Amino acid sequence: MIFDTHAHYDDSLFDGDRDEVLAGLPAAGVGRVVDAGSTVRSLSRIRELTGKYEFVYGAAGLHPDEVGGLTDEVLAEIRSLLENPKFVAVGEIGLDYHWDVEPHDVQIRCFKEQIRLAHEMKKPVIVHSRAAALDTMTVIQEMYGQDGELAGSGGGLADYREGRRVPGVIHSYSGSYEQAKIYTGLGFCLGIGGVVTYPTSKKLKKVVAGIDLSYLVLETDCPYLTPEPRRGERNTSAMLSYVAEAVAGIKGVSRETVEDVTWRNAERLFGMA
């Protein structure tokens, strides 16, 4: 079975057939899905989906393009959602310097604020990083490193370092192999999606080849980032079989092995193991 660790079934591109698509996922070999929050509006939609579908879980947080709306009231709403056991992570949060919707200092401040909330609620983070690799790495090292900001907050980092908790996942990983080694050294997983199937994704293929499978999880980011050979279509979790096949080819293992190991990785990441 496949575990899709990052989807957006709350997106308006599913408004016409959302229930049909979700109802068909188990027959397509998809056993669990985490729908990641991005906007204030998305939070209530995700809550509805987690209540309607047993296999759908949620993450609550604001995308860096949306952090101008991160008020005390919104933080309280996110905290309330995280008290629901169906909400398993804080995300997607992070930095996006590609669109530059919000000033960089605001993005960094809100990124750290949501990381602190995740630590308080004992939830992992789902990290978005686009055109902001250096600053994302700096924030993660500042917060989760040996002498990081969270180190003195109740000893929680000992849990991360001893393998009892996974601090989070770098969503749609696009960094270098060297950065990947730093992230996994801190205990983070790397989210691998449709991009790994693209002929031009040489850097990501190098990461997948060199990083132990125990640190990789599968994700769609659907309805976006559709894998080959279905590019141009709307993405769904059912298409993760193409990603699993690509990872299997790179690692020299069976697709079943990739699905099994990444399932267990996702369970560990989200505290379901």
Domain span at residue 88 reads 2-269
**Is there a contact between 227 and 242 (Cβ–Cβ < 8 Å)?**
yes
What predicted TM-score, i.e. pTM, was given to this entire model? 0.97
Query: With contact defined as beta carbons under 8 Å apart, do 127 and 170 qualify?
Result: yes
Query: Whose CA is closest to 53, among 10, 111, 94?
Result: 10
The pLDDT score that the predictor gives to residue 157 is 72
Asked if pLDDT for residue 160 goes beyond 80, the answer is: no
Q: What is the mean pLDDT of residues 55-80?
A: 97
Given a cut of 80, is residue 21 above it in pLDDT? yes
* pLDDT confidence of residue 141: 95
Residues counted in the chain: 273
Q: Average the pLDDT over 145-163 and give the result.
A: 74
What is the count of structural domains for the chain?
1
Indicate the Cα dihedral angle 259, 262, 263, 264, nearest 10°: 130
pLDDT over threshold 60, residue 154: no
Q: For residue 246, what is the domain's CATH number? A: 3.20.20.140
Closest alpha carbon to 242 in 211, 219, 266: 219
